[in-house]
């Protein structure tokens, strides 16, 4: 696995940009210079993140989200050799 996170990643298994191996390693997202813990999906090349908003749910039971534009910097939380 490379040292750079993918350009686009989602935490939902039904999404085509879901990657369990990458998520097991742990991916952090810095958005506009601030670490975010509620990121549902991101895209570096398009410059957006989708963040969960509160505890509200949609009809399917998924968290309500808001899409924000800005500088997106994903990073791995564990080095390549330490992933379990």
Q: What are phi and psi of 6, to 5 degrees?
A: -65, 160
Q: Enumerate the domain spans of the chain.
A: 8-78
Say what the pLDDT of residue 37 is.
Answer: 93
* Confidence at residue 3, expressed as pLDDT on a 0 to 100 scale: 83
Average pLDDT, the chain: 91
Taking only the tens place, the pLDDT of each residue in 29-58 is: 999 999 999 999 999 999 999 999 989 999
pTM for this predicted structure = 0.86
Burial class (CB in 10 A: 0-12, 13-18, 19+), 74: buried
Share of the chain above pLDDT 70, in %: 93
Rounded Cα distance, 82 and 58, in Å: 37
Per-position DSSP letters for 24-83, written without gaps between them = HH-EEEEETTEEES-EEEEETTTTEEEEEEEEEE-TTSPEEEEEEES-EEEEESS-GGG-
């Amino acid at each position: 696995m490379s040292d750079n996170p993918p350009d686009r990643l989602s935490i939902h298994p039904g999404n085509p940009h879901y990657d369990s191996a990458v998520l097991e390693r742990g991916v952090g997202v810095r958005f506009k210079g601030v670490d975010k813990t509620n990121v549902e999906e991101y895209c570096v090349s398009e410059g957006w993140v989708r963040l969960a908003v509160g505890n509200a749910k949609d009809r399917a039971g998924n968290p309500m989200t808001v899409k924000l534009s800005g500088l997106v910097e994903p990073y791995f939380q564990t080095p390549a050799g330490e992933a379990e």
